[in-house]
Amino acid sequence: MGVAGVEPIQDVAHLAHVEIRTPRMDETLEFLTTILSLQESHRAGPSVYLRAWGDYYHHTLKVTEADRAGLGHAAWRAVSPQALERRVTVLRERGWGRGWVEGDIGHGPAYRFVDPAGHLMEIFYDVEWHEAPGAVRTRLKNQPHKRPLAGIGTRRIDHVNLLARDVKANRQFLEDCLGFKLREHIVHGGHEMGAWLSVTPLVHDIAYMHDRAHADGRFHHVAFWLDDYGDLIRAADILKEAGARIEAGPAKHAVTNALFLYLYEPGGNRLELFTGGYLIFPPDWRPVTWTEEDRDLRVWWGGDLPESFFTYGTPAVEPVKADLPA
């Protein structure tokens, strides 16, 4: 937090977009647009830029063809040009910076950096807002786009979840270099097994979970928001009939207090459909710590999370034995 003095200051505004890599570009796109109702904003080279109907910017999900599934990068928007500069200074000084890129379709110059686990991230300020063409412009002026007629109707990006060998190191990196606040974490025997952080009142904009495979830079999932419990149930029906691979849910997390459904897109990346949860407004939030005593609450209700949830990430690696109590 240090840079601005003793007072906390919010320099990172929110999660702007996530890039995922897929070895099955056509199937991934077909699935995301047809079933999840994401809309194509642009195509360029090996990438397609997508957005949900309630997202305000040019895109929130970039899908890039690649040999293996996994994270491309996660991008944060700064609250101001000055905030961007402050964060770049810190990231560079601490050695996490990888330099400026000119930007991309949909946003301006971005500063690249990595987290301790090696996930590539970016931060930028200038951004292109989505302007809905006439036929899909809604009279609801506070809504960027008409609700699509087809598919699950995912409304907006919610958060990203990454795997890390050392959850604590990555959590502290977010706190120290980017001003994130720890909202909840799981601590078993002194080891931080998972951490949920945000700069917004969302219970998490990002989470880290322990990678039992001891790998670096792996991706667990990106989540999209649905408005209503019934939307999640309808989504499960649609996914099941479409032959999609549901991993778990609908069910409810104890951590985050939210309803979830995990699925794999055809390229192998895990996605989450997410609703419920709670908002955190107090500036002095005291992080919630889940310990061994809460082990029976891996879900609050609904079917338990399968083993794959704790071992599978993208890119996939050879399974290794868990090194920490799970």
Contact 187, 234 (CB under 8 A): no
The residues, ordered by sequence, that sit 6+ positions from 275 with a Cβ below 8 Å of its Cβ are: 225, 226, 227, 228, 229, 231, 232, 258, 259
CA dist., res. 152 & res. 61, Å (int): 16
- 297: helix, strand or coil: helix
Shortest spacing between CB 140 and a second copy, in angstroms: 6
Alpha carbon of 10 to those of 100, 157, 175: distances in Å?
22, 20, 11
Shortest spacing between CB 28 and a second copy, in angstroms: 17
DSSP letter (8 states) at residue 141 = T
Shortest spacing between CB 238 and a second copy, in angstroms: 6
Return the number of the residue (66 or 255) whose C-beta is nearest a second copy.
Answer: 255
Return the number of the residue (95 or 279) whose C-beta is nearest a second copy.
Answer: 279
Instruction: Name the strands in the sheet holding 61-65, side by side, starting at the edge strand that comes first in the sequence.
Output: 39-44, 47-51, 61-65, 12-22, 70-78, 120-124, 110-114, 97-101
Return the number of the residue (45 or 283) whose C-beta is nearest a second copy.
Answer: 283
Return the number of the residue (213 or 258) whose C-beta is nearest a second copy.
Answer: 258
Residue in this structure with the two tokens 């990172």, named with its chain if needed: 12
- 148: helix, strand or coil: coil
Shortest spacing between CB 95 and a second copy, in angstroms: 27
Shortest spacing between CB 127 and a second copy, in angstroms: 8
Reading the block at residue 318, the tokens are 């050879």
- 30: helix, strand or coil: helix
Return the number of the residue (73 or 253) whose C-beta is nearest a second copy.
Answer: 253
Shortest spacing between CB 145 and a second copy, in angstroms: 10
Return the number of the residue (68 or 245) whose C-beta is nearest a second copy.
Answer: 245
